[in-house]
Structure formats: C-alpha cells, structure tokens
Structure 1
C-alpha cells in the first residue's frame, strides 16, 4: 500500500470501530475538535482527543530505524545526558507552573486538571522518555511523509527517497497491560491538542520490547504532496505559541537548579548526587540553588494575553460523559 492508502485504511478501521460502538448501544456526540475528560486517578483528569469510539493510536516515521527509541535514549546517550534531560523537564514544569493561566487549577466534577509536563516537553523539542502517537491517521501521515529542513525550519514532503513506516497500537489492550500510555491531548498549550497527542513511555529498549505493534511499510512517492497539503503544510500542527520560545531556552540551558537535578535522579532511580553533579559539570552544566529565569516580561504578557483569548474556546472543547452510580 502507498502512504495515502494506509491513512485511508486507518480511517476506515476507525469508522468500523465507531459502527461497532453504536451497535453496542453506546452513543457519542464528541466532535473532531472536542476532548473527553478522563479520570486518571489521584483526583485528576486529562482531556483525551477524538474519537472516543476507537482505541487505535498511530505513529508515522519517514524512515524505519528498526527499533523505535524515545529521544532520551537515542544516539547512545550517557547517564549524565539522561539526568540532564529529565532535569530540564523539571525546569520547564516549575517555570510554566508559575505563569498565569498555566496552573493546575481547572476543576471539573471535583477533579483537578492534570498537565503532563513531560508530554509537553516532548512536543516542544526536549528529550523525554515518550514516543509520540496520535489518534488522527492524517497527522501520523504528515510525519511519515515529510522531512524537517533545519535551514528553512520547515517540513518538506519526501517524494522519492526510500521507505517509511507507520505503527499502530491498541491503547485499550495496552492499558490493560501497563500504565505507560499517557493522554496528552488538550492542554493549556496549543501544539499537543493540534496533534491529537498521546505518549507511550518507553525504556532504553524501545517500543518493540514491550508493546504489541502493527507495522505498515511504504515507499515514498507523490502521495507525500497530497498528505502535505491535507495537513496545510503542517501549519495547523505547529501554531504560533509563545511557550515555544521558553521551551527553547530551557532546552538550551547550561544551568540547572539543584531541586531539578534531585527530581531527575529520583525519577531515574539514580543515587550519589555529588557524583552526578560532577558528571553534569563535565558536560558544561553548572548546578545552583535557584531556578533560572527563563521568561522575559514580553513573554509573560504574550502568554497571559493568549490564555485570555483562548480560555473560553478551551473550555468549550471539553466534554464530559457521566456514568450512573448503581450502588
């Protein structure tokens, strides 16, 4: 099959899933640009992207690397580089939590909104333990059939250059096996929502070690142009967002707060703080007591203005499916 044939096949499978959902007597009024509130435990909820009637997740890659690794484990990463990556996620979390409009305070049915900061970091270019997946076959197709041009900072369609690959995973089946699939979906940030995002958390052995994947390979061809245009050249997937400049500064930092390093070590289950700080120093990273200031005043104003503009639209996209209590 061609890349476009695979996308159409995925869409047809989702249509059949929806028909089966209706045949079971279930209803769904969720629209394509709406998100369903899901209780994820511990008094928190996430906003899962459309469709609720299908549990299929998709990923597109423009090349088959054999083993699909999260960014934190690529290129033979050292322990120090993994500690650095995780510490940067913590730096980003602390920075964004301090911004007006980005705090975890949106209450729904007695639950607090859960921001996935590692998932956000992944979507804004930081190295994480996640591999991106989406519920939208066309978005998976965009990443399967384009190549990022660093000089122009744009994605360009691949016409005649080797073989690409799609992955499909059933999140319902994987939820039953592990808790490593994270809903990213609608956040108070634009990019993950536009990409109908889920994240699969992986070890250094990659996706193939733990997940039941289906693979679909294809040869790059003229269909890439069609998929590129259907995705508006990626413009909708990467909207203008003042948060991206903050993420870039966090990603480029050569300074970390000690609290971020401590959190990274605890998350990765690594001991000996002094030894790890020396390893970070060898990478040109200094560690201090205070959190660095990553946000300029104009960015604070831009983010506040953006949130004021989109708050009503954000809330209008949130849908709730109530479940009867038969006690």
Structure 2
C-alpha cells in the first residue's frame, strides 16, 4: 500500500518488525474481525413459509464462508473453505492476519503483473497458450484429477477448486495475476534477494549501493475480498511447491 508516508529502514528485520506491529494494531481496531458474522443457510426450496427464519451456518462448519478468518486451527495451517462455486479450497489461515504482503527488490508504482510488463506489447496469444498448456499438464496429474472429481467423506462429496491458472505463475509462466502472500517472511525474502534465470537460484543482495528493497502490504477486508475485490487463492496444492499465496486478477 503506497500512502505517501513510506519509511526506509537500515535492514529487513527492522522493516518487518514495524510492519507486523502496524498489522497487529490494525487487526485490533478492525471491528469486523472481533466477532464471526452470522451467515444464514441458503434454502434448498423456494417454498419457505412466511416468517420462517433460515438456520445459521455454524462457525465450525466446512460451509462457513469466513472460516479462513474465524477458526481454532494453528496459525501456520491451511483451512478448508467452501467457495461460492460450491467447491472447496485449502486456504492459508488468515485468523491472525490483517495484511497480505509482497516483496520486490526495488520500488514500482504501480506493480504490474508479468504479462503486462512490456509496454509496447499488444497481443498475448503466445503467453496465454503456454499458460494453458501448463494448466492442461497439471490437470493430467492423477491427484489433481481426484480432487477435481471429488472425494467422498461420510457420504458427502467434496470437490476442490484449484487455481491452476494462478499456479502457472509459480512455474515461470507470465500471467495477469499479481502475487501476494500471507507470510511476511516470504515477502521479505523476495525483497532482499536477486533471482538468476540461468541457474534458477536466489542470492542475497549484498551491494550496499543497491536501491532499497520494498515490502508492500494490502489490508484485508472480509466484506469485499474475494467478492468485490478480484482476489483469489492458490493455497495448498498437490505439487511439491507449497505457497501461502493469494493473487490479484488485474484486468
């Protein structure tokens, strides 16, 4: 978040300490995060009698839409959440998170998704085709197919919605998504390291003349995120790369 009151710190540890203290203060002041909202069940029939009050979804139910914010799970765990599509997603636990984070080695205003970083480029057919090929490859994985078709537990079918398009970005494909993470340490890593495409390795930035790395943060709002704000989740997935990640869709 660029507010016009940015700070420069001598090291990443001081920057993290400041941001996390700011986050906890903002979380304490956020009234929406004090008490879990009441959410009525959607009636299965349109023949509700006048005056009938729909039952409320229990907070500890898998169908509770705010389970990522209100739960008793460990903070480092992933929480199973029911999406508007009726499918489920394994999201990072945001109970103690007011911010999502993004780290970059230098300041960019605005931050631009990898697909749109060439100013003169007008067509993106090649990049999108490569991304779709990656999606199809991931969809061919037996575990991905299993979760897509659904797993039956106690007589109920649970189908999972995997953000394969967003996941392609984590395998070096260009997309219209902009990564954010629920882990401030992950953002700090990307703010203080250089990536070498030839060797596929990261190394710490030790040059004292290098411009300051940047920690961006986004303030979560449970009323608008994933609804009015085009935010979507990557979260826990079947491949060896596990990412506590959210992505913005930039249109």
> TM-score, length-normalised on structure 1?
0.54
**Residues 135, 164 of structure 2: 8 Å contact kept:** yes
Distance 1:4 1:79, change over 3 A: same
Distance 1:70 1:47, change over 3 A: same
- 2:114 match: 71
SS in 2 for 1:66: coil
**Residues 30, 51 of structure 1: 8 Å contact kept:** no
Unaligned runs of 5+ in 2: 1-8, 37-69
Residues 159-216 of structure 1 deviation map (CA, whole Å, 9 limit, x = unaligned): 211122111112326527724111111111232x3x311101113xxxxxxxxxxxxx
Quick one: distance in 2 between partners of 1:20 and 1:65? Answer: 29
Task: Note the aligned Cα RMSD (angstroms).
Answer: 2.7
**Residues 105, 112 of structure 1: 8 Å contact kept:** yes
Establish whether residue 60 from structure 1 lines up as the match of residue 103 from structure 2. Answer: yes
1:53, CA displacement in angstroms?
3.4
Quick one: distance in 1 between partners of 2:226 and 2:138? Answer: 32
Quick one: distance in 2 between partners of 1:35 and 1:106? Answer: 19
Distance 1:77 1:52, change over 3 A: farther
**Residues 75, 96 of structure 2: 8 Å contact kept:** no
Quick one: distance in 2 between partners of 1:12 and 1:49? Answer: 20
Q: Choose the corresponding residue for 2:246, options 198, 220, 226.
A: 198
1:132, CA displacement in angstroms?
0.7
Establish whether residue 141 from structure 1 lines up as the match of residue 188 from structure 2. Answer: yes
- 2:34 match: 24
Quick one: distance in 2 between partners of 1:77 and 1:182? Answer: 28
Distance 1:105 1:53, change over 3 A: farther
What pairs up with 1:225-244 in 2 under 5 angstroms?
none
Residues 268-326 of structure 1 deviation map (CA, whole Å, 9 limit, x = unaligned): xxxxxxxxxxxxxxxxxxxxxxxxxxxxxxxxxxxxxxxxxxxxxxxxxxxxxxxxxxx
Establish whether residue 178 from structure 1 lines up as the match of residue 228 from structure 2. Answer: yes
**Residues 181, 201 of structure 1: 8 Å contact kept:** yes
- 2:47 match: none
Distance 1:25 1:68, change over 3 A: closer
- The number of residues matched between the two structures is 200
- 2:66 match: none
1:55, CA displacement in angstroms?
3.5
1:100, CA displacement in angstroms?
1.2
1:25, CA displacement in angstroms?
5.7
- 1:154 match: 201
Q: Choose the corresponding residue for 1:128, options 175, 186, 190.
A: 175
SS in 2 for 1:188: coil
**Residues 79, 91 of structure 2: 8 Å contact kept:** yes
- 1:37 match: 80
**Residues 150, 157 of structure 2: 8 Å contact kept:** no
What pairs up with 1:202-213 in 2 under 5 angstroms?
202-203=250-251
Quick one: distance in 2 between partners of 1:91 and 1:150? Answer: 21
> TM-score, length-normalised on structure 2?
0.69
Quick one: distance in 2 between partners of 1:186 and 1:73? Answer: 27
Quick one: distance in 1 between partners of 2:126 and 2:194? Answer: 27
Unaligned runs of 5+ in 1: 204-327
Establish whether residue 12 from structure 1 lines up as the match of residue 21 from structure 2. Answer: yes
